[in-house]
Amino acid sequence: MDSLEQALPGLVREAQQLNKMAVARLISLFEDDREGSAVLRSQTLRLLDANPDTDTAGRRGRILGLTGTPGSGKSSLLSRITVDLLERNAELSLAVLAIDPSSQVSGGALLGDRTRMRFLPAEKRLFFRSQASQTDLGGLGPSSFQVCRLLSRLFDCVMIETVGIGQSEADIRHLADRVYLVLQPLGGDEVQFLKAGIIEIPHAFILNKSDEPTALKSFHHLRSSMWLARPFESEDLPIFQTSALTGAGLEELESEMLRQIESGGTAGLEMREPYFLDRWVHQEFGKSGGRFLAQQLGGATVFIAQAGGYEQAQAAFSQAFG
Ligand SMILES: Nc1nc2c(ncn2[C@@H]2O[C@H](COP(=O)(O)OP(=O)(O)O)[C@@H](O)[C@H]2O)c(=O)[nH]1
Ligand SMILES: [Mg+2]
């Protein structure tokens, strides 16, 4: 750790030039849950926000989330969209964080989706990282928040792919500035979109696989489901009909994403720190840890303020509780 501390200023500068090796090394630090690493993380964040001789200093990239059931086409869409966006905006830099539920079974988060991504290894403006998810139901991994704090300081946009089923999909709403739910046309037995249960979460819908024969019927079905589930908003909720196979509908979706990215940075990962500190405490210390935070330490918001920051709060909590 000592040697990393010395190397940190250089490493941060290289990462700000989007050197892939440097970015990957910093990610490892932000995924590291050993105690000493919290100090290095807060040093990294300070360096990132302060380095005056780079144009990324003070950057907060917009965070877009793509969620939806496995097989709906999230990875296929991302592999096209990312490359298209880089072509459409020559200044843009993007990081993709794919949170892969299958990795628990296969034992490694590295293959799987990556092989399907049409990925440009030499392109500095595009960075791809795959992460194991916490459960086989998807949702965020234990360090997804940490890695987003880092990536949003380096790239104009962070795109997160998560599987959204059950409870876990709501997590993405806490991390992303905008959540897109990717759906595929209904099968013959008409499972209702409403039953999918996640219609309340997203800001926009992507009905993918529009090349399939039942796509149009499903579009009308989705519209009426939205009227039922979110009657006061449904006018404002876009549905993008896309095909990652043929490319149909992608231009419209990409235009909306570019508008999102160019409209400014993230609405504030700082604001989300209390939620993720609470989540971290529950993960690491269980329910009794959560009670201790709420009852003895005044709750996550108060405790972060008292400790002087998120990293400091993690370290202080481990001491106070452990
Ligand atoms: N017909 C058709 N198949 C697609 C489309 N997008 C993805 N697929 C296929 O659907 C399967 C799942 O895609 P994938 O991107 O891995 O889905 P993910 O699990 O949501 O990331 C793959 O076999 C893709 O080739 C599409 O627009 N049309
Ligand atoms: Mg995928």
- 198-202: Cβ within 8 A, 24+ apart: 198/67, 198/164, 198/165, 198/169, 199/225, 199/226, 199/229, 199/230, 200/229, 200/230, 201/67, 201/164, 201/169, 201/170, 201/172, 201/173, 202/67, 202/237
CA distance 36 to 85: 38
CA distance 100 to 130: 7
For the ranges 125-134, 221-230, 300-309, the one whose mean pLDDT is highest: 300-309
Phi, then psi, of 309 in degrees rounded to 5: 145, 170
Q: How far is the CA of 160 from the centre of ligand 2 (A)?
A: 11
CA distance 145 to 266: 13
The answer to whether 65 and 162 are in contact (CB under 8 A) is yes
CA angle 120, 117, 186 (to 5 degrees): 150
Please work out whether the CB of residue 168 comes within 6 Å of at least one atom of ligand 1.
no
Confidence label for 92 from pLDDT (cuts 50, 70 and 90) = very high
Q: Can you give the pLDDT at residue 77?
A: 95
Cite the DSSP H helix spans in 192-268. Answer: 215-229, 250-262
- Residue in 76, 183, 207, 208 to alter for ligand 1 test, most ligand atoms within 8 A of Cβ: 76
Nearest to 199 by CA among 177, 231, 156: 231
- In tens, the pLDDT along 24-54 reads 999 999 999 887 888 899 999 999 988 666 6
Please state the rounded mean pLDDT for residues 136-149.
Answer: 80
Confidence label for 147 from pLDDT (cuts 50, 70 and 90) = very high
Percent of the chain with pLDDT over 70: 84
Please work out whether the CB of residue 112 comes within 6 Å of at least one atom of ligand 1.
no
